[in-house]
A and B are shown apart, each in its own frame.
Chain A
Amino acid sequence: MTTLPDTALARPRPASTALRPVLLYLAMAVLLVGTGVLMGWNYALTVINMGLISAIMALGVNLQWGFAGLFNIGIMGFLALGGLGAVLVSMPPVADAWAAGGLRTLAGLALGVLTVVAVVAVRGRMASGRAKTLAMIAVGVVGYLVTRAVLDPGVAAIEAVNSASTGYLGGMGLPVLLSWPVGGLLAAGAAWIIGKTALGLRSDYLAIATLGIAEIILAVLKNEDWLARGVKNVIGVPSPVPQEIVLQRDPAFVARAAEFGLDPVSASTLWVKLLYLGLFAVVLLVLLTLAQLALKSPWGRMMRAIRDNEDAAEAMGKDVTRRHLQIFILGSAICGVAGAMMVTLDGQLTPGSYTPLRYTFLIWVMVIVGGSGNNWGAVLGGFLIWWLWVIVEPLGNWLFGHIISVLPPGSGLAAHLHDASAHMRLLTMGVVLLLVLRFSPRGLLPER
């Protein structure tokens, strides 16, 4: 089965020249600079930083969809796992909580894992039949009861420790930059488990399964307070760059700022954002280089061959399932890295703010608009769609402001329009996705 749009869908387009990517990236740069000039550089840098992270997410999705045609709509879950990684690595450990129930909780979790392993072992070893089913159920139920009996008191003890400010185990107190690869590893581990179970499914079943697994991951993050405080949020995740307030107290920095004619406060916010920009840009460039190398390597060609015709690739002796698992893990790991970076940038993990529309489907819009199968396209899509996402609201306000000013004052329609401009984002994204899918299904920068 092919997953890329049929050639019949592609309109005839002018022969793509090498100039096209350059021009499009220039146009994107003009948009960002224009945002800076019109709406302030502080705002523009915020947009660019999140744009960099979005570009990394889009790279991950492009790896799975563009290279291999895997329909993964559980991106949100992998991002959240990466964010969890940031908390687990960088937050200081809560010694009291560890003393109260740390080991007991870990033992409970180990028992839970053991239960699953035992069920799988029974499934693999025993001969099919009623006895097997009963044995699996029995092992599962007993394992569940034992796990709960060990786990629950431990969890309760941890959550009772100063629940207003901690109430969780804390992290390892390591440098936050380390959490980026760790976030990737966490996501990769989850992807391995998911891939092992779900990758054999048909495309749309895989989609629904990943959508559900993302919801499960998020439900765990929201409810297991001992792990990362749940919906009480972890705030104050350490920053890899100096804090604004420290910079403002540094006489040398204030003097340097004065040379540029800036007051210390705005100079410090700009400088911190620039430092983040540098860090994120390095990660993006490394990942982009790796992705480009992979795309051009024999491995990349094999991936696309599998995508375009699984049966033929299998007949040529390629292990389709293993290759799918491999790329599923790689793409998810990239999303995990992006998730950890996002939590680092925000300085907090807020599980309540993760919604599929924003963190799964929007990334998909980025990849499809940018050009699936083309890494440069995915990165461009990441920037462009993120920029559009943030700019649509002020733009909508401005537009509706003009419409409202024409309407008679105090009319119900005017008030309604005023409230409604906040919802323009979703509408715009949907229209952009549909238009691109229809009239330029290969995206802005098509696969070569």
Chain B
Amino acid sequence: MDLLNGLVAFLNFVFIPAVAYGSQLALGALGVTLIYGILRFSNFAHGDTMAFGTAMTILVTWALQSAGISFGPLPTALIALPLGIAATALLVLGTDRAVYRFYRDAKAAPVILVVASMGVMFVMNGLVRFIIGVEEIQFTDGERFIINARAFKEWSGLEEGLALRTTQLLTVVVAAIAVALLFWFLNRTRTGKSMRAFSDNEDLALLSGINPDRVVAVTWIIVAALATTAGVLYGLDKSFKAFTYYQLLLPIFAAAVVGGLGNPLGAIAGGFVIAFSEVMVTYAWKQVVAYAAPGDWMPSGLLQLMSTEYKFAVSFAILIIVLLFKPTGLFKGQSV
């Protein structure tokens, strides 16, 4: 019984939050890694792209809500998501036309593109604050829980409750669908294959008649879709705040690099590695260990490896360790 309690506590406080957070990071890291693989630079504006997409989705959600449209037990934001993606796609395509294309045509060093993306980051950050402000926004509606902690306790007779929020399950399901669609697209369709060819060897791809403009445009649209989805899922799960999204850039980069920049599978693995380590290192294991240990023994300390505020530090410590020992990431990534 104690062991079961321990397991439930672990599921409730570590496993479920980490899986949801990991899915969000994986979607974000996929966007970063696609840009790196095909456009060949680290996009520092990615966090703010996510924020923009989410802001647009929130605006549409509000419009739907005030029109009395809802999605039953699911959050209304899901209906608004396609419109948010469309708006973000327009924005990133416009940005590419106005900013990145010039440097691409001039064959500028990748680092110049990174500096340009810093400029884009500032502009998008300002734009998002301009449009929707800096306050924290909760935009989830519909059914809040799938499994309620109290109902679970009554049903199972355990001391520990297990809560599963709708948004958490939704995050995992939507992320799984998005990833499946992405891999189907990359591996099965003509355009997807041309994208992979372009990523592997640009010159060869151009020689075989692949249209680079098309590849770039499709990449940006996919990135917009991934970024907006990741942002909306994160916002539904927690809340939307422009500054938090900028900060998400850090674990997302860590995930993409740990997995191997330019490698989509690696980005997903990296997302979960980062999420699980962040949650596990900052979780106080006292309760779980007390249940798992025989008898009534109780650890004296909290058994927390690091305080919660260090979670970004954790993701970066992992990043640096991976960079030092396996510079191309867990899965083989590319280099510039």
Contact = CB atoms under 8 A, between A and B. Distances in A.
A368 B130 contact: no
7 contacts: A3-B111, A5-B112, A9-B106, A197-B324, A202-B336, A426-B122, A433-B119
Nearest to A436: B119
Given A216-B313, A433-B119, A437-B115, A426 B129 contact: yes
Contacts of B107: 6, 8
Nearest to A427: B126
Contacts of A220: 313
A103 interface: no
Contacts of B323: 198, 201, 205, 209
A219 interface: yes
A9 B112 CA distance: 10
A430 B316 contact: no
A361 interface: yes
B309 interface: yes
Interface in B284-321: 307, 309-310, 312-313, 315-317, 319-320
Given A205-B327, A223-B307, A419-B133, 16 more contacts: A3-B111, A9-B106, A71-B111, A197-B324, A208-B319, A211-B253, A215-B312, A215-B316, A216-B312, A222-B309, A368-B115, A426-B123, A430-B122, A430-B126, A434-B116, A441-B112
A71 B111 CA distance: 8
B170 to A, nearest CB: 30
B129 A204 contact: no
Interface string B98-127: 010011001111111011101111111111
A69 B109 CA distance: 12
Contact of B250 (A202, A205, A215, A423): A215
Interface in B49-95: none
Contacts of A219: 309-310, 312-313
B335 interface: yes
B302 to A, nearest CB: 11
B257 interface: yes
Most buried by B among A1, A361, A425, A428: A361
Contacts of B124: 430
A383 B223 CA distance: 37
B42 interface: yes
Contacts of A209: 316, 319-320, 323
B291 to A, nearest CB: 22
Complex A-B, nearest 5 residue pairs according to Cβ-Cβ distance, in ascending order: A430-B122, A427-B126, A212-B316, A430-B123, A426-B126
A202 B109 CA distance: 13
A111 interface: no
A430 B335 CA distance: 28
Contact of B112 (A197, A216, A431, A437): A437
Nearest to A3: B111
A211 B252 CA distance: 13
B41 interface: yes
B108 A9 contact: yes
Contacts of B109: 1-6
B246 interface: yes
Interface residues of B, number: 49
B257 A434 contact: no
Nearest to A208: B253
Of the four ranges (under 10, 10 to 19, 20 to 34, 35 or more), the interface on chain A belongs to 35 or more
A256 interface: no
A424 interface: yes
Name the residue among A213, A216, A220 with the largest chain B CB count within 10 angstroms.
A216
Nearest to A433: B119
A281 interface: no
B279 interface: no
A364 B333 CA distance: 28
Contacts of A223: 307, 309-310
B230 interface: no
Contacts of B324: 197
A208 B111 CA distance: 12
B9 interface: no
A277 interface: no
B123 A208 contact: no
Q: Which of A71, A423, A431, A441 has the most CB of B within 10 A?
A: A423
Interface string B36-55: 00000110000000000000
Interface in A215-242: 215-216, 219-220, 222-223
A3 B129 CA distance: 32
B254 interface: yes
Nearest to A438: B102
A6 B110 CA distance: 11
Contacts of B313: 215-216, 219-220
A423 B123 CA distance: 10
Contacts of A368: 115
Contacts of A203: 110-111, 336
Nearest to A362: B122
A69 B250 CA distance: 23
A184 B310 CA distance: 25
Nearest to B112: A5
Contacts of B250: 211-212, 215
Contact of B42 (A3, A204, A213, A433): A204
B200 to A, nearest CB: 19
Nearest to B123: A430
B126 A216 contact: no
A429 B317 contact: no
Given A205-B323, A219-B313, A427 B108 contact: no
A207 interface: yes
A413 interface: no
A357 interface: yes
A311 B102 CA distance: 28
A212 B319 contact: yes
Contacts of A197: 320, 324
A361 B118 contact: yes
Contacts of A201: 323, 327
Contacts of A420: 129-130, 133
A371 B310 CA distance: 37
Contacts of A202: 327, 335-336
Given A204-B42, A213-B316, A216-B317, A357 B125 contact: yes
Nearest to B124: A430
Nearest to A220: B313
B312 A430 contact: no
Nearest to A419: B133
A191 to B, nearest CB: 15
Nearest to A152: B301
